[in-house]
Amino acid sequence: MIKVQQDNFDVGAELADLTAGNYGIGGVVSFVGLVRDLIDVDGRDAALRAMTLEHYPAMTEKKLAEIEAEARSRWPLEASLIIHRYGRLEPGEQIVFVACAAAHRQAAFDACNFLMDWLKTDAPFWKLEETDAGEGWVDSRESDDEAAARWQIKPDRAAE
């Protein structure tokens, strides 16, 4: 399931909804991303006042659905959920939630890692950071591309 929303989310309620009535789930792995208060600006720490995320709804939802479908094709998931917020967010606020539920933990761990790595590189969100020094758009990071590159080869589902 994909949710792109401006409103905050309740992790406990989302997990309860994700697993409700599905007794084939043996484990859930989740990740909650938060807006940090410090960012790197030219090699030094700068205080972040806020981050504004922009997107085109139809394009964003389509791409997130493709990323989720890829995870479900690679691992035997019972359920999955991606929530990504947009709008102006301040340090400490939740920005993203990913949860993967499976009969066995390894599939849930791997799928959750995969989803986060691909969200960082392929999700069409544009991030504008506000600091005391001004505003600037966030560029892609080489470390994020390297993390996503490890998923270029699909695992053998028969080996699970």
Residue 18 φ then ψ, to 5°: -65, -40
Whole-angstrom distance, CA of residue 102 vs CA of residue 81 = 12
Whole-angstrom distance, CA of residue 135 vs CA of residue 52 = 10
Answer yes or no: is 53 within a domain.
yes
Answer yes or no: is 157 within a domain.
no
Q: Give the pLDDT score at 146.
A: 63
Confidence of residue 151 (pLDDT cuts 50, 70, 90): low
DSSP, residue by residue, 118-157? HHHHHS--EEEEEETTEEEEPPP-HHHHHHHHTTSSPP-G
What is the domain extent for residue 103?
2-132
Pick 45 or 131 by higher pLDDT: 131
Q: What is the number of structural domains in the chain? A: 1
- CATH number (domain holding residue 59): 3.90.1170.40
| Dihedral sign, Cα of residue 91, residue 15, residue 3, residue 103 | positive
- Report the pLDDT averaged over residues 4-18: 97
Is pLDDT at 155 greater than 60 in this prediction? no
Please name the amino acid found at residue 104: H
Answer yes or no: is 158 within a domain.
no
Confidence of residue 77 (pLDDT cuts 50, 70, 90): very high
- Report the pLDDT averaged over residues 125-151: 73
The tens digit of pLDDT for each residue in 29-74 reads: 999 999 999 877 777 777 899 999 999 999 999 999 999 999 999 9
Q: What is the pTM of this model?
A: 0.85
Is pLDDT at 122 greater than 90 in this prediction? no
Answer yes or no: is 145 within a domain.
no
Answer yes or no: is 144 within a domain.
no
